[in-house]
Amino acid sequence: MRTNVELRFHLSPRSRNYKTGPIPVSTSPRTTCPKICPGRNKWCYAEKGPLSWHWGKVSKGIRGDTWKDFTGKIEALPVNQAWRFAQAGDLPGCGNRVDKRKLSQLVQSNQGKRGWTYTHKPPHMFGNGAAIREANKSGFTINLSANSLDHADKLSRYGSPVVVVVPADHPERSRTPEGRPVIVCPEQTGRVKSCAKCLLCQKPRKPIIAFRLH
């Protein structure tokens, strides 16, 4: 087994996930997941099925690239290419902490491309919020993941886009307690076929995107 297993990140050139659509997607090792993530051992979709097996290999260092090689692959993507970072795992950095140096390198590699991701790393710790906001300003979209509409209001104060999980019967359009607009992911309502056709999560925007829990 390789050493420095936490440094392995994987890029699939073409996702086979029906929801994502045929775009490049990356996988981060499990060590990047923050301890506070509410999906842990509950509803985290990456802990189930084939994705969980792939994630296990990346996390053990059996599959994937060093950070340098990984960011080189991102840099080599075609101009304007949409791609998703961390279909499993989170931003670089162990647990709750964002590795600012690696995030800055990732943002540089993404120049001219349309990368996006989601994070459960807490913005109020380790200066994470400011680093995430800077990445968003520089074209790499990082959505802060909220656990409730109340939480979505709190996260919105950090100046980055927000997504939230909601019950399966949540209406398509709603508002947070503080009045921010919320729309359910258009793939879940049948309005688009995949992220590749939608890219709402990649765009700077005001509305909060809601994901209905199955």
Query: Rule CB under 6 A: which residues touch ligand SF4?
Result: 185-187, 192, 195, 198-201, 209
| Residue closer to ligand SF4, measured from CB, 132 or 208 | 208
Q: Could you tell me which of 147, 86, 88 has the C-alpha nearest to residue 122?
A: 147
| Residue closer to ligand SF4, measured from CB, 96 or 160 | 160
Residue 82 CB, nearest distance to ligand SF4 (Å)? 9
Which residues, 6+ apart, have CB-to-CB distance to 89 below 8 Å? 27, 28, 29, 30, 32, 33, 46, 55, 58, 59
Residue 174 CB, nearest distance to ligand SF4 (Å)? 15
Residue 19 CB, nearest distance to ligand SF4 (Å)? 7
Burial 57-74 (b: 16+ CB within 10 A, else e): ebbebeebbebeebbebb
| Residue closer to ligand SF4, measured from CB, 74 or 209 | 209
| Residue closer to ligand SF4, measured from CB, 130 or 199 | 199
**CA 141/CA 55 separation, integer angstroms:** 22
Residue 116 CB, nearest distance to ligand SF4 (Å)? 8
